[in-house]
């Protein structure tokens, strides 16, 4: 299995490197061969969001496993919403890589047990929207039906050209919609607009204005 390691590779410690080698996972560069899985290493989980967005816009369809030192629950949800195949904490990744990579290759998503425990706890206690989620819902209500559709596709990592093809409109029209969406949501970038959509819980399901 060919694996490309990218990001802050200096954080890949000897133990983790030894595990990859012992499991007969072949680490390659992107220029050498098309990888089966990309391992993206970051210090902060939030740094992975923009990478995932750019990867989707670049047409990368290879599963991406994120390794990070610190991943708040909010980042976990957003990283998974942006299409990551999994998230492992770097300090404990060596224990989980042997089962995580085969699971990903079989189409599953994986998270470190430490992360899943936190997610389960939050799920069990979560019954009320946070102030950030309420604010996002209010801003989403400013959008037209078409802007909802564009934001839904943008939140899935689609480029303007891909959105145009899906909605049967021109890329220039999509660009105008994205500009209007960013203005109404108070989002300087596409990534931040997608974050507002995720907070408002529309990234996975379309909704009408």
Residues 86 and 117 in one domain: yes
Residues 80 and 152 in one domain: no
Query: Considering the domain boundaries, does residue 206 fall inside one?
Result: no
| pLDDT tens string 156-195 | 888 999 999 999 999 999 999 999 999 999 998 888 898 8
- For the chain, give the percent of residues with pLDDT over 90: 20
Residues 179 and 159 in one domain: yes
| pLDDT tens string 9-31 | 665 656 677 777 777 666 655 55
Q: Find the domain containing 148 and state its range.
A: 131-199
Name the domain count of the chain: 2
Using the 3D structure, point to which of 106, 125, 144 is the last residue of a domain: 125
pLDDT at 128: 56
Lowest mean pLDDT among 79-83, 114-118, 122-126: 122-126
Residues 98 and 188 in one domain: no
Query: Considering the domain boundaries, does residue 136 fall inside one?
Result: yes
Residues 107 and 64 in one domain: yes
Residues 8 and 95 in one domain: yes
More confident residue, 195 or 201: 195
pLDDT at 206: 39
pLDDT at 7: 75
| pLDDT tens string 37-92 | 888 887 666 677 778 888 887 788 889 999 887 777 777 878 887 889 999 988 88
pLDDT at 175: 95
Is the pLDDT at 152 greater than 80, yes or no?
yes
pLDDT at 129: 62
Query: Considering the domain boundaries, does residue 145 fall inside one?
Result: yes
Query: Considering the domain boundaries, does residue 209 fall inside one?
Result: no
49 exposed, middle or buried (CB, 10 Å; 0-12, 13-18, 19+)? Answer: buried
Query: Considering the domain boundaries, does residue 192 fall inside one?
Result: yes
Using the 3D structure, point to which of 75, 110, 125 is the last residue of a domain: 125
Residues 119 and 137 in one domain: no
pLDDT at 46: 64
pLDDT at 117: 75
Residues 60 and 97 in one domain: yes
Query: Considering the domain boundaries, does residue 204 fall inside one?
Result: no
Which domain CATH number covers 169? 1.10.10.10
């Amino acid at each position: 299995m060919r694996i490309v390691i990218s990001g802050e590779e200096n954080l890949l410690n000897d133990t983790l490197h030894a595990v990859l080698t012992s499991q007969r996972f072949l680490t390659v560069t992107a220029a050498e061969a098309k990888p089966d899985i990309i391992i993206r290493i970051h210090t902060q989980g939030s740094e992975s969001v923009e990478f995932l967005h750019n990867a989707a816009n670049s047409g990368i369809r290879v599963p991406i496993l994120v390794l990070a030192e610190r991943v708040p629950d909010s980042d976990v949800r957003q990283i998974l919403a942006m299409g990551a195949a999994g998230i492992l904490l770097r300090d404990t990744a060596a224990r989980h890589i042997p089962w995580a990579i085969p699971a990903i290759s079989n189409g599953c998503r994986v998270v470190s047990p430490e992360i899943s425990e936190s997610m389960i706890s939050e799920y069990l206690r979560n019954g009320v929207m946070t102030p950030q989620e309420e604010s996002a819902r209010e801003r989403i209500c400013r959008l037209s039906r078409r802007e909802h559709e564009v934001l839904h596709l943008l939140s899935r990592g689609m480029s303007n050209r891909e959105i145009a093809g899906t909605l049967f409109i021109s890329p220039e029209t999509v660009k105008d919609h994205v500009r209007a969406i960013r203005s109404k949501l108070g989002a300087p970038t596409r990534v931040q607009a997608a974050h507002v959509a995720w907070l408002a819980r529309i990234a996975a399901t379309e909704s009408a204005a």
